[in-house]
Structure 1
Amino acid sequence: MCTAVRFSNEEGSVFLGRNLDWSCGYGENVRIMPKGFMIPWAFDESTPAKHAVIGMCVEFQNYPLFFDCGSDAGLAVAGLNHPGCAEYAPNPIEGKTNIAAYEFPTWVAANFETVDEVEAALANSLIIEKPFNEHFPVSYLHWIIGDATRSIVVESRADGLHVFDNPVDVLANHPNFEWHLTNLRTYITATPDMPAPATWGRAELAPFGAGAGMRGIPGDVYSPSRFVKVAYLNANYPTKSGESDNVVRMFHTLSNVSMPEGASAMSNGEFEKTVYTSCFSGATGRYYFNTYDDFAIRYASLGDAMHADGNTLIECELKRFE
């Protein structure tokens, strides 16, 4: 399970972050795919990356299997678990842009500059059910894609590809995206404001303190609950200026929907936990993250790829966020 958030700062720069929730990690690390990196597409000839990309991935033989990433154009994407809802096309179709599910984040971040460009390209695209290899089977996902102005959600279903404008700039897991948006109507009375006192008969009732207007917002880690809570927080967090305050905003927001071990067991009995939390900044090209076992926020920068060999993934130098 996972949760993702997008917002912009006062200067209009994008921040996109996510929690990756599972019972274990996969040996993931932050890597930079430099501009010009030759990408071996599953259903097309290899092409050089138009943009440098940074993100969290499993690196296999110099190929990045990105969980989430952002580019030097300020475009970012994150894939979230969606089994039981996602269905990919079984085979490529001639005349379409055919994209293997595992390469979708790379396809987005390496090729495009804006959400509008991605949305236009998706009108003639398919996501194909093809595993990377025998070690990495197909993962059934949906994706949030964001830039400085807006975000979209991409879901592949039995009847084809669905692309939704995302007015709340968040995403969780099941069920499908339009259900989550409809469900928000259940919570329209929630407010960060202090409620006025009320009179019931002869009783004068006053709130105990701040937070009374938020009563009813769920606090569990069920997917619909996380969507509601993070949408509420993202809508009401005051807009901040600069880099540091917005990195702090992202990590505080996502910490409210993180999974502590022991709270939620999967079907196999193992407990989910928030393996890592990330935040990509379009203004600086920095990728911030922390892990379940280490709350300290570290970051790497796309600036490290300015003079790199275009055919080799870059192991990032990590710095501490202060």
Structure 2
Amino acid sequence: MCTRILWSSLGSTRMAQGGPDKGNVLVGRSMDWYQDTDTVLAVRPRGEERWSTPSTPDDPGNFTWTSEYGSVVALMYRRAAVDGINEAGFQASGLYLSESEYGERDTSRPGIELYWAIQWLLDRFGTVDDAVREFTDRNVQLVAETVGGRPGTAHVALADRNGDSAVIEFRGGKAVVRHGEQYTVMANSPWFDEQLELQKRYVGLGGDLPLPGGVDSPDRFARAAYYSARLPATSDMREATAYMFSVIRNASAPFGTADEVRPNISTTRWRTVADLTDGRYFYESTTSPNVVWVELSQLDFSEGRPELLLDVATEPDHVGNVTGEFTPARAPR
């Protein structure tokens, strides 16, 4: 399920060495899943108090937090925050990884349910460094949840407007963090260190095999790494966004090819591109001809403001800048 790419619009020189340099920092991601995800967009203000394990409030490791940053998020099944950007230019994504091991619940550790992990990160942190430090220092444990009738086994990608990046996997119940601007691409199975080795087989990435064209995770990972490293530098943000969309589309799975046995290579349902520098969040549904975007600078994230929703699932004909088209949510989430 999914591919994620980090790229800087003026970073072509250092991208060739494995990391972004300067310019507008963009993150593109695809959402691949075996069924329609009924995804909506939400605007969430500062000052909201949330629980880490709302399904089990008596969990001794349940903790609360108050959102310090406003954010725009994509809610899978209208509930689970799986992707988003906050007003500080910090971005977080949850991607499927069947190998993830959250472990049996250890109530001596702070626990956070999978549906709320991305929102917690967006609410609380403005940089990758701060998020990684808090996540690891507190030894936070992810609590598994079912997503669309399937086990919700995810790993996490983080990025910020400085071009910093982190990939967080979970083995034996513990977080395994790879932190650094060189970690620009993430996909699904196998483990991340194996993905980095597998890509070296291909021309342009260290090997002599032709670049693969399939939809399996290592194939998508290799294409994303290859093409994002070869994007030309540009100071034109429309052009930069088009570059990022072109690469994330290339790493997508054709619509209608869902594999119900292996959701990690299912059809692409939607894509996002987040401009972390200018605070702009693009969303593209496979079943809609239109790209929509949200300008975070035009939103009021003040404490006390209502949460806002845009139903891009059942109202697919939105187009362009939809910042003013959000409406108050009927109930808090």
Fold-level similarity (TM above 0.5): yes
Per the normalisation by structure 2, the TM-score is: 0.79
Does 2:36 match 1:25? yes
Q: How many residues align?
A: 293
Superposed, which structure 2 residues align to 1:133-152 within 5 Å?
138-147=151-160, 148-152=162-166
Does 1:220 find its partner at 2:233?
Answer: no
Aligned mates of 2:231, 2:167 — CA distance in 1 = 22
| Structure (1 or 2) with the larger CA radius of gyration | 1
Report the counterpart of residue 172 of structure 1 in structure 2: 187
User: SS of the counterpart of 1:289?
Assistant: strand
Query: What's the counterpart of residue 209 of structure 1?
Result: none
Say whether 1:157 aligns with 2:175: no
Q: Deviations over 1:227-251 (max 9, x none)?
A: 0110111111112224212211111
Residue type matched to 1:179 in 2? E
Task: Assess if the C-alpha contact under 8 Å between 1:92 and 1:126 holds in 2.
Answer: no
Query: Unpaired segments of 5 or more residues in structure 2?
Result: 11-21, 54-60, 312-317, 322-333
Answer whether contact 2:199 2:205 (CA < 8 A) is retained: no
Q: In the alignment, residue 272 of structure 2 is paired with which amino acid?
A: S
Q: Residues 81-100 of structure 1 correspond to what in structure 2 (within 5 A)?
A: 81-83=96-98, 85-94=99-108, 96-100=109-113
Report Cα offsets for 1:109-165 as digits up to 9, x if no partner. 1111111111211223232334389x8775100111111222110001115110013
Aligned with 2:293 (options 296, 299, 302): 299
Q: 1:48 aligns with which of 49, 66, 73?
A: 66
Kindly indicate whether the alpha-carbon contact (under 8 Å) linking 1:289 and 1:298 is maintained by their aligned counterparts in 2: yes
Matched residue SS, 1:241: coil
2:50 aligns with 39
Structure 2 counterpart of 1:123:
136
Percent of aligned pairs with the same amino acid: 22
Aligned to 2:26: 15
- Counterpart residue number, 2:314: none
> Is residue 283–residue 292 contact of structure 2 (8 Å, CA) maintained in 1?
yes
- Compute the displacement of 1:25 (Å): 2.0
Instruction: Identify the residue that residue 241 of structure 1 maps to in structure 2.
Output: 235
Instruction: Write the letter of the residue equivalent to 2:74.
Output: M
Contact 2:89 2:279 survives alignment (8 Å): yes
CA offsets 1:186-214 (integer angstroms, 9 cap, x no match): 125469xxxxxxxxxxxxxxxxxxxxx99
Paired with 1:236 and 1:118, the residues of 2 have a C-alpha distance of 29
The aligned counterpart of 2:254 is: 260
Runs of 4+ in 1 over 6 A off after TM superposition: none
Distance 2:301 2:140 in 1: 34
- 1:73 match: 88
Rounded Cα–Cα distance in structure 2 between residues aligned with 1:306 and 1:223: 38
Q: Give the corresponding residue for 2:2.
A: 2
Deviation at 1:78, TM superposition (A): 0.9
TM-score by length of 1: 0.81
Distance 1:315 1:27 in 2: 13
Give me the whole-angstrom Cα distance separating, in 1, the residues matched to 2:204 and 2:222.
Answer: 13
Could you say which residue in structure 2 is the equivalent of 1:195? none
> What letter corresponds to residue 26 of structure 1 in structure 2?
T
- Output the CA distance in 2 between the equivalents of 1:5 and 1:275: 17
Q: Deviations over 1:70-105 (max 9, x none)?
A: 11111101111111x1011322443x4432222111
Contact kept in structure 2, 1:101 and 1:127, CA below 8 Å: no
Residue 312 to residue 214, structure 1, CA distance change in 2 (3 Å): farther
- Aligned residue for 1:244, secondary structure, equals helix
Q: CA RMSD in A?
A: 2.8
